[in-house]
């Protein structure tokens, strides 16, 4: 029995084992380059990574730790700019603070979007360790601002005086105006 002769190349010479291995290696390298160029090997963006590892909001609000809830969107440049700082906050204060991200473009979160009256992003909702709302932050925040907010939440101290950050309080019945209707935030009466 004889072994078949190697197939000839375009010049009529047989293609040897070495050449086939070289072609296979070249094909593997080209496939890897194509995968990298198409973004297949890039790590998840900070927003996506944080959102995937977030606790469900009801669990976060009930676990005895303060919670920082961010409403965001993938296309939001301010949210993207703030994402590395949020990732650092989550990493540096893991175990002391829950960081929860909800994407406003996901219809699953519409009840929360309505509940917290989200009409701009990024919007942070701030909760104490009992799960009670204690403040809100509107707009992008720098790393030092996020750290100041986080420190106040963990220490259970008043929120820092930053533009766009406010404490929340419950509105009780006004004893001097007990029968009067309350004006809405858009009324000018």
- State the catalytic residues: 76, 79
State how far the Cα of 70 lies from the Cα of 126, in Å rounded to an integer: 9
H-run or E-run covering 71: strand 67-72
Work out the number of other CB atoms within 10 angstroms of the CB of residue 6: 13
How many angstroms separate the CA atoms of 122 and 100, rounded?
13
With CA atoms as reference, report the closest residue to 94 among 144, 54, 126, 127. 54
Q: Say if residues 53 and 16 touch (Cβ distance below 8 Å).
A: no
């Amino acid at each position: 029995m004889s072994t078949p002769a190697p197939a000839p190349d375009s010049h009529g010479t047989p293609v040897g084992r070495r050449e086939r291995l070289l072609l296979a290696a070249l094909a593997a390298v080209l496939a890897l380059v194509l995968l990298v160029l198409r973004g297949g090997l890039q790590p998840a963006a900070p927003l996506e990574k944080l959102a995937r590892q977030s606790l469900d909001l009801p669990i976060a609000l009930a676990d005895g730790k303060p919670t920082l809830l961010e409403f965001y969107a993938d296309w939001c440049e301010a949210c993207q700019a703030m994402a590395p700082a949020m990732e650092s906050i989550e990493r540096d204060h893991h175990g002391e603070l829950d960081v929860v991200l909800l994407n406003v473009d996901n219809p699953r979160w519409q009840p929360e979007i309505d509940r917290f009256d989200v009409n701009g992003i990024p919007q942070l909702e701030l909760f104490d360790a009992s799960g009670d709302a204690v403040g809100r932050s509107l707009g992008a925040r720098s790393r030092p601002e996020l750290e100041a907010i986080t420190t106040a939440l963990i220490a259970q101290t008043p929120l820092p005086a930053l533009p766009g950050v406010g404490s929340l309080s419950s509105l009780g019945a006004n004893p001097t105006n007990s029968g009067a209707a309350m004006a809405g935030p858009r009324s000018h009466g």
